[in-house]
Structure 1
Amino acid sequence: MSKTLSCLAVLMGLALGLTGCQLPLTRLNTPPSGSVLFQDDFSSPTGRWQMTLEDVGLAGAYKGTFRFLVKAPEVQIWSTPGLEFASARLEVDVARFGGPEENRMGLICRYRDPENYYFFIISGDGYYAVGKVTQGKPVLLGQEQMQYSAAIQTGWAINHLRADCVGNTLTFYVNYLPVALVHDDDHTTGDVGLLAGTFEQTGVDVIFDNFIVLQP
């Protein structure tokens, strides 16, 4: 932040008892609530998202969506656009494209590295969870296992997901209905993104569209 020359003189001469200058107020450049911070409908490649092409699965742009295909059991794959936010509201549309209903698909926030982030997931058979990975250890928050919610559309239906990461409060919405609210202090800032994963059955295939990050 720049200061006027007269105020600099005051700061440098405090020991001499100089007075009579007031430092200018600093206006915080925080976008208003609801402002779009980032969005991608995947209609054309932006080069921001991490692509995955490995034996365990793949992630990348596919016909105007972002697709995950997970080929190994008990594996989670994610992609991030290389951004950083402290507080953010994430929204996306997701649908099962193939594979078993028992899957994982959702959002992540405050991603620092593969061993530290928060996740918000649903499954194709109607279950949800909010959790974190800290130093590589995954833990669910506010629940011991994934919980069923009638808000989740099962089968091949499209689900609209929203995750609010604001301060130490994490709120998860499915199809505009709140399903979970938890508090945690471990992760304070980081990237945002998408994820998909398997349980015992392989071949999880999901697509995402209309990803948006808003100022909460």
Structure 2
Amino acid sequence: MLRSVLLVTLLMALLSACQVSSLTSIFFDTPSGTVLFQDDFTDPSSGWENLTNDQFGTLDFFDGYYRIQVLGEQQMLWAGPGMNFVDVRLEADMIKVIGSSDDIFGLICRATDPYNFYFFVISSDGYYGIGKMIDGVQSMIDTRGMLPSEVISQGMTGNHLRADCIGDHLEFSVNGQLLARVKDFDLANGDVGLLAGTFDASENVILFDNFSVINP
């Protein structure tokens, strides 16, 4: 099934980790391959939110992971460390632990506020895609929607995701394999982060680990 439209409800007005006015700018010149930021989520004071809402879900630290729990259908939550990058390579490990395969989870870059960012997502049934949120309106940059790939480990298991945001070039790799390459001009810089959401599932819980921001 091709998924061309993702989620209809954005909850980060309630649960956003930071606003653009409080972002820490990271624009200094560094050699390619330099780690600009990393987190293994063993320290709950590292800058990510700990928030719980009985209706929408939870953002918190759990047993050495960062956990995003999404409650309800057609919902999405994301969190970031509150920084401001231009060109970056993002990497993280993600493990699905609760919920059906009717879900998404992944990485975001260039988040200027809760309603504007790029997202790089997979689903537990083996689909992937690159999309964007612009003024609260979501769309897939590839008009074919989310596409299937055997590279993605399905079900209650782990995947390693990488997103490259370099100028107008956006690339998405899963488990070491490049799956998508697109171009888009809408967003130039912003925060980075982690995302999880649901389609028709009532709950989705993803554990995130080894999050890195690298100078490409």
Smaller-chain TM-score bracket: 0.7 to 0.9
- Where does structure 1 lack aligned partners over 5 or more consecutive residues? 1-27
Deviation at 1:43, TM superposition (A): 1.3
Matches within 5 A, 1:53-202: 53-54=52-53, 55-202=55-202
Cross-structure match for 1:31: 30
- Secondary structure of 1:61's counterpart equals strand
Q: TM-score, normalised by structure 1?
A: 0.85
Cross-structure match for 1:40: 39
Q: List structure 1 runs of 4+ shifted beyond 4 angstroms.
A: none
Matched-pair identity in %: 43
Deviation at 1:117, TM superposition (A): 0.4
Q: AA paired with 1:35?
A: T
Judge conservation of contact 2:97–2:157 (CA < 8 Å) in 1.
no
- Residue 49 in structure 1 maps to residue 44 in structure 2: no
- Where does structure 2 lack aligned partners over 5 or more consecutive residues? 1-26
Richer in strand (by share): 2
Q: AA paired with 1:133?
A: M
For residues 62 and 29 of structure 1, what CA distance do their matches in structure 2 show? 33
Cross-structure match for 1:21: none
- Secondary structure of 1:144's counterpart equals coil
The count of corresponding residues between Structure 1 and Structure 2 is 189
- Residue 203 in structure 1 maps to residue 203 in structure 2: yes
Judge conservation of contact 1:50–1:79 (CA < 8 Å) in 2.
yes
What is the root-mean-square deviation in Å for CA atoms of aligned residues? 1.2
For residues 29 and 193 of structure 1, what CA distance do their matches in structure 2 show? 20
For residues 78 and 143 of structure 2, what CA distance do their matches in structure 1 show? 22
Cross-structure match for 2:3: none
Distance 1:29 1:94, change over 3 A: closer
